[in-house]
Amino acid sequence: MSEPNRAYFIAKGRALEAVLKWDDEYKAAQKAFGEFFEKTGIRYAHGTRAGHTFQMEGDAQPKVPGFRLDKGCSSTWVFDRKTPEGKALAKEWGGMHFPRFGDRPIGVSAVIGGFTMYHTVPEMIGDVWVLNCPYFDKVPEPFDSTLIKTSEYWAMRESAEAQAQHECVIVNNAEAGLIG
């Protein structure tokens, strides 16, 4: 099965409200995970069906009790569920998650192609939220949103990237003392 086609929409009305709510939840989740990582000293987390493993900053020890080295590993840690601290950390970790955008009520469903499910993806371009919607047969119609041409979408992205590079050059020149 081939990849789906894509349609691009400027999010407005109910769709924009759903995007903004998701964005707020996503930022809150980023903050929660960041605070957990800072508190514990975790640098990387890896999840599997068997559980989660963690690597600390450098090869340091965890900052808090409740971890043990994974069996047979010298730098990978797991929650020590035999201790109260480990149980509490595992419970805290289990309560955190990143919100999925595919569950949002925007008037568009996911599409399935082969063994893959494709979801609508929101993307901030400049100061505008764009919905990147997959489809195979019929172009979707997100609530209250405006369809734009693919060429308009790419022009928006290129313009936003050029603006970001320009702003980066200004900041770098200011930091180097080249402009006042």
pLDDT in tens, 63-109: 999 999 988 787 889 999 999 999 999 999 989 988 888 777 787 87
Max Cα–Cα distance, the chain, nearest Å: 59
At which residue do the structure tokens 């041409």 appear? Answer: 149
Band of pLDDT at residue 4, cut at 50, 70 and 90: confident
State phi, psi for 170 to the nearest 5 degrees: -60, -45
Tell me the whole-structure pTM to 2 decimals: 0.74
Q: Measured in Å, how far apart are the chain's first and last C-alpha atoms? A: 56
Does the structure show a pLDDT above 70 at 178? no
Distance CA 133, CA 110 (A): 9
Find how far residue 74's CA is from the centre of its chain. Answer: 30
Judge whether 125 and 157 are in contact, CB under 8 Å.
yes
Judge whether 39 and 66 are in contact, CB under 8 Å.
no
pLDDT in tens, 7-51: 999 999 999 999 999 999 999 999 999 999 999 999 999 886 667
